[in-house]
Amino acid sequence: MRKKLLMGNWKMNKTIAEAVKFVEECDSIVDTAEKNNIDLGVAPTFLSLKDVKAKAPKGLIISAQNVNDQTSGAFTGEVSPEMLQEIKVTWAIIGHSERRTYNGETSQACNKKMIKLLNQNMVPLYCCGETLETYEKGETKNFIKDQIVAGFKDIPCDKAKNVVIAYEPIWSIGTGKNASKEIAQDICAFIRATIKELYGEGTANDIRILYGGSVKPNNIKEYLTSPDIDGALVGGASLAVDSFHDLLMNIIQ
């Protein structure tokens, strides 16, 4: 059985002090997650990563929000996987829709990042999702399949299963407009079927697929009771300790 995962993406929020205070208050939350066989993590800004990693309870996954595919060089403003490893951060979110929209990231660029991370024994959390225009045209599945196929290009089977995929319909991120449980399950099942086409049933059964997009404590349970949704990538509702706790408890209960 695939282990559930709750990951908070803090985006451009929290000072270093605020981020450290959050994780220092998470001991009991992490303990509850471990007792219920749930992985729990947060993705702070680059500036906060080192301090958050140092202060976080053991067992809380600390992820970067982005990474470069190169080890070093003339890439102003970028951070390499090796730099993350130096501070013992081994996860990175790849291809979030905000990176794709505001920074022009393509699935091909994400593919290079994923290959680099996997070769470094790190974990990519690969995001895919469609715009409202694509959704309304009924082209979601073709669009998502293109993102998956391009993102996983040249990634061997033994490494592919270590990727975590997050389906985040762009039209529901931060808008309060949720994809229904049925839509989320349908697309996550389609993603799993696409992985099966690429790698076979074993990898498709092993890989974890998350849902993200206006996930809150009051709706997380309905998503995670779906057979192909293995967790949630949560934005705003992960920024307060109480809300983060409620997200976890509503998965369990």
* φ/ψ (deg, to 5) at 8: -95, 125
Is residue 84 within 8 Å of 49, Cβ to Cβ? yes
- Tell me which of 25, 96, 105, 201 is the catalytic residue: 96
Token code pair at residue 237:
């509702």
Q: Quick one: how many helices (H) and strands (E) in the chain?
A: 13, 8
**Contacts of range 54-60, beta carbons closer than 8 Å, 24 or more positions apart:** 55/20, 55/23, 55/24, 56/23, 56/26, 57/23, 57/26, 57/27, 57/30, 57/31, 58/30, 59/30, 59/31, 59/33, 59/34, 60/23, 60/26, 60/30
**Is 168 marked active-site?**
yes
What are residue 167's DSSP bridge partners?
Answer: 128, 211
| Number of neighbours of residue 51 by Cβ within 10 angstroms | 16
- Tell me which of 25, 168, 197, 222 is the catalytic residue: 168
Is residue 5 within 8 Å of 59, Cβ to Cβ? no
DSSP class of residue 219 equals T
Distance, in Å, from the CA atom of 180 to the CA atom of 186, rounded to the nearest integer, reads 10
What are residue 9's DSSP bridge partners?
Answer: 43
Strand-pair category, 164-167 with 208-211: parallel
Tell me the catalytic residues. Answer: 96, 168
